[in-house]
Amino acid sequence: MKNFVFHNPTKLVFGAGTVEQIGQYIKKDGIKKILLLYGTGSIKKNGVYEKVVRSLYENGIEKVEVSGVRPNPVLSKVHEAIDVARKENVEAILAVGGGSVVDSAKAIAAGFYYEGDIWDAFIGKYNVKKALPLYVVLTMSATGTEMNGNAVVTNEQTKEKFYFSSKHVFPVVSIVDPTVQYSLPKEQVVYGAIDAISHVMEYYFDVSGSNLIDRVDEAILVTLMETTEAILKNPTDYEARANFCLATTLALNGLTGLGTDGGDWSSHELEHAVSALNPDVAHGAGLAVVFPAWLEYVSDLVGEKLIKFGKNVLKLRGNVTTQRTIKALRAWYKSIGAPTSLKELGFAKSDIEELTNIAAKHAPFGTVKELKVDDIRKIYEIAYE
């Protein structure tokens, strides 16, 4: 086990009926005016918007709204919201939505005080030094962004989907009410599950770490798989939904990476190119395709972990091999309705070169195996069929 420092400053408020508490937490911090950020309107259909607005009103908090954040959030919306936040002189950001809304809010919070283009933080030209306080009401569990300092945004002009991390953008308070997720479409549950599963696997297949954290990782992975199946059968199963929501949060709040070298994250780099080239591809859908391909490519280097994963997570019995494990993982993805090839996602074989070029902007990357241009291309070729 490697040395580590673990500190997570986010207060997680979890459970049924907690959305209405958001105004109290913001008021307690002495904030009187916020930017309310949300997506394309689903929070007005499921009643979350009404609950949030009432809570703000009852606690004397003024709001300015920016809506229209899309899945695979884009830089232009971040720029728009920063302009509004500055013009209205808000004191904090309240993100109400899923990972795309929260990630955008982090970029807005950091960009509020930065005189340049906040994209500089994504390309390594600026280390965030200050940000507006951020509050979250989560409406879709997937990314774990409600309890970490990471944000991913796409620059639609350059077709680059990059991330930044900063201690300054950890949410102050995140409210997670599993009941508001009852109405989510099936595909959002599926892709949210795969996103969270991939977060854990990025750490798990890092060959550093410890038996204790491996077991924590395995427990989270098993929980995600079991609860996904349960939710697909009964979307209003509260215990399944609550365990699913908590598991997705724990998947990327720092717990699963304790004692590791920080995880590998090659699959996320590879997927970011996929959804940057085609923003209609959900992040989880892309990960369902590229992660097993990456595992196949590096199977000789993670063979022991793959077999352990096959036995302890996928519950394989008998002669468990690396290839059998990868095949079983793909089969489970397919059983819940996820794609398992670039071809299924609508890409042509000729797109592999452009995907390689986009991903290679960050190359070399990877800790299990340092991936260079030829490696990236070969993994996409494995992923194609």
Tell me which of 180, 207, 227 is where a domain ends. Answer: 180
My answer on whether 71 and 159 are in the same domain is: yes
The pLDDT-based confidence of 39 (bands split at 50, 70, 90) is: very high
Strand partners of residue 134: 93
Last residue of a domain, which of 151, 180, 209? Answer: 180
d(CA 227, CA 221): 10
Element spanning 65, H or E: strand 62-66
Task: Look up the CATH number of the domain holding residue 141.
Answer: 3.40.50.1970
Tokens (6 digits) for 341: 């090839």
- Number of structural domains (the chain) is 2
Q: Structure tokens of 353?
A: 């070169």
Which residue in the block uniquely carries the two structure tokens 């595992």? 295
pLDDT at 98 over 90: yes
The verdict on 60 and 196 lying in the same domain is no
Cα–Cα distance measured from residue 295 to residue 316, given in angstroms and rounded to the nearest whole number: 17
Looking at residue 208, its pLDDT comes to 74
Q: Would you give the DSSP letter of residue 52?
A: H
Q: Which residue range(s) make up the domain with 295?
A: 185-384
Tally the C-alpha atoms within 13 A of residue 166's C-alpha that lie toward its C-beta: 26
Structure tokens at 13: 């408020």
- 45-77 pLDDT, tens digit each: 999 999 999 999 999 999 999 999 999 899 999
Helices 322-335, 303-312: inter-axial angle, 10-degree rounding = 50
pLDDT tens per residue, range 156-192: 999 899 999 999 999 999 999 999 999 999 999 999 9
Q: Are 139 and 96 contacting, i.e. CB atoms less than 8 angstroms apart?
A: yes
Residues 303 and 320 in one domain: yes
Residue 142 CB contacts under 8 Å (≥ 6 apart), including other chains: 98, 99, 188, 191, 192, 193, 195, 196, 248, 283, 284
Here the tokens at position 231 are 């939710």
Please give the mean pLDDT across all residues of the chain. 96
| 31 and 170 both lie in a single domain | yes
Q: Choose among 4, 1, 6, 2: nearest CA to 253.
A: 6
% the chain with pLDDT above 70: 100
Average the pLDDT over 109-119 and give the result: 98
Residue 257 DSSP one-character state: G
Half-sphere exposure (CA, 13 Å, Cβ side) for 267? Answer: 33
Tell whether 120 and 150 lie within a shared domain.
Answer: yes
Residues 165 and 34 in one domain: yes
Both 313 and 219 in one domain: the answer is yes
Give the end of a domain, one of 180, 210, 230.
180
pTM for the predicted model, two decimal places: 0.95
One domain for residues 240 and 114: no
In a domain, 6, yes or no: no
100 in a domain, yes or no?
yes
CATH code at position 246? 1.20.1090.10
115 and 163, same domain (yes or no): yes
